[in-house]
A = this chain, B = another copy of it.
Amino acid sequence: MSLLKEFDQRDPVEIGEQLHRFAAELYPICRSITGDGVRQTLAQINRRIPVQITEVPSGTAAFDWTVPREWNIRDAYIKDPAGKRVVDFQRSNLHVLNYSTPVRATLPLSELRKHLFTLPEHPDWIPYRTAYYKDAWGFCLPHNQMLALADGNYEVCIDSSLQDGHLTYGECYIPGSSADEVLISTHVCHPSLANDNLSGLTVATALAELLSGRDLRYSYRFLFIPGTIGAITWLARNRENVGRIRHGLVLTGIGDPGGFHYKKSRRGNAEVDQAAAHVLRHQDESWEILDFSPYGYDERQYCSPGFNLPVGCLMRSVWGTFPEYHTSADNLDFIRPKHMAASLRICTALVDVLENNRRYRNLSPYCEPQLGKRGLHRSSGGDVIGEEINARLWVLNFSDGDNSLLDITERSGLPFCTIKEAAELLCQGGLLATLPDVSERDTSKEDSDASSEVRGMPRARGIGARR
């Protein structure tokens, strides 16, 4: 049975609640681009799917970048002149400027203000701010709260550390028949923000669970990585292996009530772009296809011109376009079980298309084959033929080696599953033969040194030892 059909037999309410419960588990952890928050998050994921952890030392070069010092934080607060904790990291980890250097000082309000970040347009929300690659400390708080601060001396404490350590990322590899890979990448570096990106993390984890132990055409690699520096580091360490990535998807911000947005790969006409457009066209929520642009999430790195990988990005509301973005309002109420479940369904449908999108050759290309004598056509002479017979004619006519099932789907306007079932039936009837994967044919040169590539590519399962 197809992955999607199987998915659709499950209870979507339960799926959504499981996803949301997992997001709620991960919500309190204070994540950043390095540090124990990422490790705790990966450990939680590893309870559900086997995650191999990689630890890359601070100072390691990754293309134009360098792995930074590791950041960890235990506590942080501002005490008002009366000694009361008015801003408290224990209540929300967003209160601390992420990657703040440690500080312990007492200073007048006028000085303190230089270190405070607020959102005047949403005066009750805490903004999310970072200070990567910059020695700075600060606090984020609601604008109204800041306005209410009385003059006087404030005690500030950020009990953080910023020192040589590691950058941590996790991979879950699910092997398929082919060494060709589908890459699913999702960032794990944001603290208590639900849509950005516990939604991506939890859906990716659930998708990996769903694919585990199945007969798959492709191998699947799930990356749980810090944004930007994590993707860059992974690419630097796997530069020789990326030729195996046939399709890729960045998952982010897919738990909110907004319609779907799929941002195309830099190539613009990759199979994953075509497949995503098809899947979105055949579901009920609103959707939009966006052209590639070089700003956004880690597709920026996968689609940098040196790599130019066929990697798109699936979102619901686009980052920066909704008020909750990068604020404390992106919380567990902002993401909804039913939207998370629907996002997982889209991912499942996309995988289903990628798994089944092949090219076939019509073995009886001169005139139509006689479907009737094979029981593949009605023979009573009705006026109209059914969609399923029509699909067989489409598949036969366009299976000339050039057109994939997705191509035929687009020309015919029929759903992919109808076209796919027609192809399977015609194969069984001896009228159609599967062609070898284009990807495998086209990459013979890459395959020729596949042995050396295998070395760099982690295939082992389970949580790895920290070096």
Chain B residues with CB under 8 A of A368: 64, 228, 232, 294, 300-301, 304
Q: Are B132 and A379 in contact (CB under 8 A)?
A: yes
Q: Are A367 and B129 in contact (CB under 8 A)?
A: no
How far is the CB of A388 from the nearest CB of chain B, in Å?
A: 13
Chain B residues with CB under 8 A of A9: none
CA A36 to CA B16, docked complex, whole Å: 68
Q: Of the candidates B98, B236, B301, B370, which one forms a contact with A64 in the assembled complex, judged by CB atoms under 8 Å apart? A: B370
Residue of B nearest to A392 (CB): B294
A223-261 vs B, CB cutoff 8 Å, 1 = contact: the mask equals 000001001100110010000000000000000000000
Q: Are B64 and A365 in contact (CB under 8 A)?
A: no
How far is the CB of A400 from the nearest CB of chain B, in Å?
A: 4
Answer whether residue A362 sits at the interface, using C-beta atoms and an 8 A cutoff: yes
Chain B residues with CB under 8 A of A235: 366-367
Q: Are B64 and A304 in contact (CB under 8 A)?
A: no
Q: Are B133 and A393 in contact (CB under 8 A)?
A: no
Answer whether residue A278 sits at the interface, using C-beta atoms and an 8 A cutoff: no
Residue of B nearest to A361 (CB): B305
Answer whether residue A69 sits at the interface, using C-beta atoms and an 8 A cutoff: no
Chain B residues with CB under 8 A of A305: 362, 365, 396-400
On whether A306 and B390 interact (CB within 8 A), knowing A397-B266, A397-B294, the answer reads no
Chain B residues with CB under 8 A of A291: 411
Answer whether residue A65 sits at the interface, using C-beta atoms and an 8 A cutoff: yes
Q: Are A129 and B365 in contact (CB under 8 A)?
A: no
CA A304 to CA B362, docked complex, whole Å: 10
Q: Are A369 and B320 in contact (CB under 8 A)?
A: no
Known: A129-B382, A236-B366. 11 other contacts (CB 8 A): A130-B381, A133-B373, A134-B379, A239-B366, A294-B398, A295-B390, A305-B397, A306-B362, A308-B400, A320-B383, A326-B383
